[in-house]
A and B are shown apart, each in its own frame.
Chain A
Amino acid sequence: MNLATEIIVWITYFAGLYFAVFWFLTFIEKGITKDHEKKLKRFPTVTIAIPTYNRENTVEATIKSALALNYPKDKLDIIVVDHGSSDNSLKVIKKFSGKVRIFSIGRQPGERKGRPMNVALKHAKGEFFVCLDADSIATKDSLIKMLPYFEDKSVGCVLPSMKVYKPKNFWHRVQGSEYLVNMFYKRLMSYMNCIHVAPGPFSVFRTETLKKIGGYDEKNLTEDLEITYRLQKYHYKIIQLMNTFVYTIAPKSLKELYLQRNRWFKGAFLNTIKYRGMIFNKKYGDFGFIQLPTVIISGGIAVSLLLITLYFGIIKNLKFLLDARLINFDFLTLIKNLSLSFNVFDLNFSLICISIVASSISLTIIIKAFQHGNEKILKQGIIPVGFFFIYYYLIMGLAWIGVVFDLLTGRKQWW
């Protein structure tokens, strides 16, 4: 390994370990307390905005979950905005005429989810505004558990805990683990008031706040992340709950997962550049100092770890396979006489020391995340959880490499 590679490797390990230690310290300092269910003193009107675009298979369940919310029906204002679907979404939605307000808008080039969200915001009658993606299912008690947190006037947004809807395959279960860990991290971020994204599935806002900060960015790739950056810019508090759940349909294959993450990371990168003035700006506290740099640095770490793994784990073995042509691929002779002469001094102790600390922290976080998310590792499956623990960074690294490639080649985002 030459000096430059070695420096990159050690910087990656240092940065990765730094973030792990930082969040672990936050965990030790604050702990994760149980959310005490607060009683809702009054029932304000709430607008639930469901934007749809070619979601004929899922939108019905989403609307039904909104209608089934444990909340006075006369206080619920459900708006479904179809953003020019070419499938049967509109037909499905129309079955709920009378129970929900329906808007159908055309889709102009460059428009994204921010556009239907703004239509809903414009027509919203509620004091509170909830975004509910058309592939997500709200749980009955979610709203009633979330609204009391708005008693604090500085709170601009309250988030539920997201889970994968009816996990069916390996990739669903891997993402299930990821969601739990992410929610756990976001809870820690919530303590430091530096949450960077209020996701589409059932984030609750004050309608007035959303209007005051200018509504959604209609052309933004990740409008949910962008509006959260703006909430942070205006110093609103964002709270992550652990006792309130919303279920969302997760990508079912590696390709879908890659495409979704590529879009998320690209959006995160572009928005971080857009709000670069907040980075390391004391005015924005921990959000500027740890959260915004993390968005970019975590991408760097994922790419670097992927390349390190590729180099040491794959390229070297591939080279061995290629070299094997020189011995007519007669591996048997080499293997049958192989004598393992293990020596304790052969181990790389510097790396082992760092790996043990980093792995212990990660494992503790995973175990705690499952505990607080009311899930069991065994039920989720040891293999998907193990994959998430050991290999998930490879997919993240791949998606980030895709982001760099797309940005450099000016490739458009269609999905």
Chain B
Amino acid sequence: MPSDPYRAMRRQIMAVLLAFGLVPLLAMGAAGYVANRAAIETRTRNLLEAMVKNRKATIDLFLEDRMRDLELVAASFTAEALTDEARLDGLLAQLRREHGGIIDLGLIDSDGVHRAYVGPYNLRDRNYSDQEWFEHVMVQGRYESDVFLGFRRFPHMVMAVRKRDQGRDWVLRATIDTDMLSALVREGGIESGAEVFILNRAGEYQTATAERHTLMARADLGPLPVHSGVRVVTRRSGGSTEFIATTWLRGGSWVLVTRQEAFGLSQLLNAHPAVLGVFVAGLLLVPLLGRVVAVARLRQFRAMERERANLFETAAQSQKMAAIGRLAASVAHEINNPLAIIDAQVGVLSDTLDDLSGVAEASEWRTRLAKIAAQVDRARKVTHRLLGFSRRVGPDIEPVDVAAALEETVSFVEREALASSIRIVREVERDVPLIRTSLAQVQQVFLNLINNAIDAVGAGGEVRIKVGAARDGVEVAIADNGPGIRPQDLDRIFEPFFSTKAGERLHSGLGLAICKDVMQSLGGRISVASTLGKGTCFTLWFPMEAEVGDVGPQTAARG
């Protein structure tokens, strides 16, 4: 039975089931995803907006406080007092203690010379007159820088205020702790996947962000428009989406940015772990179910196919037998007529010989004519057997004693067997039931099988016949101790015209085919077992009641 069509069929069934199972599941998942995405997006945006607003207030406050500190110091002391570094140092210590956020302090005169400095760097006597911020503070009165390198070759930011004292301008300058600023920006309440930092107008980082960006490096956000309040934009690039919330600080010189990776499947699944469970279970269950159904359906298909094949085989066998029947009948007829002529002519010659008793050769002629007559007889038996094969029609069903029928059949052949010192042993059980079947046909089968057995064993052999009750019928076993049948022939011996017999007797090769046909038409069975060198055993089983009405192929053999 070919397996490929079934594999293809199984694939198809699986595909259909998968489609029917997975499509709704995926659709449900997609719908859930879309609905949740909108909700989560809104939530994310709101969160971002609130966070940015809150952070802006904190940072503004920090920067304003530092500026106020500076202005307070500038207003509270004379320039002369501030040039006293010991005092300046005390002030710095106090500021750091009270608020923090300031790293150093310095006083610069109107020529830009750093007159007094307290802090970790060596900046005293530096001249700032050509620095842009110095000019700015002298004109504007106060100044906050971006993060820059300056003389100390290290990113930092400064704040400066102008102080008028006795007609002269001074500048009080402080370095703001950018680490503290960065920490302030980053600290607290940042959602996973979010990034918070400050950029200047040029788009350079003013605060460090989680070790990913260094100060003063340029961010990849491009120019950001100045606006009031908080603005949240959605940016999509290369399959990923992010929300960017911005708000401007310090009157538009800095911008506080929060980047939040847009909502993804992972967030959905984090939000609803059950969804993942249902989905995975569905994914596993649908193919499993598909397989179960496919296998069951295929089993059904296979059974149907087998049944059909059996029916077909039976029908083909019947047709074959019918054709053989017709052929046998016409062949027998064509041969019977010339045989009859030969027989008649031989008869006339024999009759004539009777008148020639005086002739010396008469005896030899008689012997030779007898041989011709014997051969005619032999051929006649063959053709009559062939016709017997084609002649079985509408068997008479009657109560049959199988053992008696067998005994009668054996009596036909026993004399011939004994002549070859072949023993025929009968083992008949007691209480073998009568069965309703066709006596003539049963005897035909017995005769064929017993003749075969006698042929097989040869002189001195033994044929053993057992008769006994079997389940729902009667069983007959006809065994010989002949040479046995080769395994490769065993399957074919019931085929018409198959014969392994060789030798002087003529065999049509139809004997066993007829037996099988008869047994089938009587609703019985015939089987064979054989061992090379040990012998062969044919087993017949007859039902209690033959199936009437099945006349098989022989009905076609007429005309």
Does A pair with B?
no
Which residues of B line the A interface, CB within 8 A?
A: none
Q: Which residues of A contact B (CB under 8 A)?
A: none
